[in-house]
Chain A
Amino acid sequence: MDEALLRSLTPGVLGILVRRGADFAAAEDAVQDALVDAVRAWPADPPRDPKGWLVSVAWRRFLDATRSDAARRRREERVEEEPVPGPVAAADDTLQLYFLCAHPSLTPSSAVALTLRAVGGLTTRQIAQAYLVPEATMAQRVSRAKRTVSGVRLDRPGDVATVLRVLYLVFNEGYSGDVDLAAEAIRLTRQLAAAIDHPEVAGLLALMLLHHARRAARTAPDGSLVPLAEQDRSRWDTGAIAEGVAILQGALARDRLGEFQAQAAVAALHADAPTAGETDWVQIVEWYDELVGLTGNPVVRLNRAVAVGEADGPRAGLAALAELDDTLPRHTAVAAYLHERDGDPVTAARLYAEAARKAPNLAERDHLTRQAARLNAGRGG
């Protein structure tokens, strides 16, 4: 039984049932039943058209469930009611499902859970493991999300930006448990990119591929963080980088710049440099200027200050940093780095230690603590 095939067919089947008028939660139950039937029936009798098979079985299950009162009579009439199995248009329905799962009425965590369940085809247990919460909690999160969107009509075009935000949230969860959420996010974004022609979808896919390409080099065997400048570039996935760059170039040629394309452009410039010293920081600053114009996001301004520090020297970087709110995440870490490059290890060590106390995750905290310790040891304690 090809589990990947079943998983890839699930969203399309679900989308068709929803479009035919099935309530989302009922449709999902029916599709699950059909998947169980498929696991039983297919090894002995593989269907010629797996998707058509799933649609007709799921639809029958849906009718059984919703019309149980009249089940006996219906069973006799069923042959007449059933849509004929056969080729079905896939892209449109799957796309609607993405919009439904990322509906603005859902909280971010509900949207993520529903997307992984309905579009990704992951089991509730897998999603719960990935997010380190009990299965019962995740089951409630999914069923609440289903209830929230159960009355939502799918006749209006959804907001692509919301879908992209949800997918990026999944990607940033990275890896834990037996489901690689970064890889899952890439798979789903790829599927979305195939269903919809939109430069920002391409931009996000490129961004994910370019980040993901560096994953193996980003941590040492002991799990500690390796900064970009010190990464072993031979461990970068050149295939993923080439694919990401090609997708990005295609998107940029459309001349409808968005923040994911601009972020991907920065990532591409990093990926493009044979050594850290050959990084084109001047162009990176230009992309950050574009990003500031697009989003006004303070975190983007912080990243810009880092780039300015590399392009024009640490003093210029510190000047750019001084214009920003010092309560921003990673502000202290950036200040520490720029002070060290400016030849002030005492201030840098103090700031690294302070940044470590504020770090949002273990790897970053340990990395910053090591930076402070390195500078303190260099001064002979």
Chain B
Amino acid sequence: MAKYLLLKHYRGAPAPVNDVPMDRWTPEEISAHVQYMNDFAARLETTGEYVDSQALSAEGTFVRYDGEGRPPVTDGPFAETKDVIAGWMIIDVDSYERAVELAGELSAAPGAGGEPIHEWLELRPFLGVHPTVTE
């Protein structure tokens, strides 16, 4: 019973094996990809392992305080070098092994040519909020 974050990257992660940009896929391939992820989430709900999933826009902006009375500094949209998070899914599973297994399944979502994209997903455990009883 531990929560894990499955993090999907637009950029910043190693390139997937089946590395074709989504705008070069056929509409049917995109539908199949989206359907795969929806089915995956629905199935995890029935196993009692689903917590949350959200997609994020590709256009993030870094913002920084720039001193008293000055507007915050932004890096502007469309910076090409930074990591960009595409979205996430949160799962609640019995073991690390199960989390790895599910991440592997999600990474097998179909892409161009109907083949799995072998996308790299980042798997991160949540920090618990309770102190444990061990002292």
Contacts and interface: CB of A to CB of B under 8 A. Distances in A.
A270 B135 CA distance: 10
B133 A137 contact: no
Contacts of B119: none
Nearest to B92: A133
The interface residues of chain B, by DSSP majority, are classed as loop
Contacts of A171: 133
Nearest to A266: B135
Interface in B44-87: 45-52
A108 B135 CA distance: 24
Interface string A297-341: 001000100000000000000000000000000100000000000
A137 B130 contact: no
A180 to B, nearest CB: 11
B77 to A, nearest CB: 33
Given A108-B94, A132-B3, A169-B1, A174 B130 contact: yes
Given A133-B92, A134-B52, A137-B51, A172 B133 contact: yes
Contacts of B48: 109-110, 113, 133, 137-138, 140-142, 144
Interface size class of B (residues with CB under 8 A): 20 to 34
A218 interface: yes
Contact of B132 (A109, A172, A176): A172
Interface residues on A, range: 35 or more
B128 A140 contact: no
Contacts of B92: 109, 131, 133, 137
A34 interface: no
B131 interface: yes
Interface string A335-371: 0000000000000000000000001111111000000
Interface of B: 1, 3, 45-52, 92-94, 125, 127-135
Interface of A: 107-110, 112-113, 131-134, 136-138, 140-142, 144, 169, 171-176, 211, 214, 218-219, 225, 227-228, 270, 299, 303, 330, 359-365
6 contacts: A109-B1, A109-B93, A110-B48, A134-B52, A136-B50, A303-B134
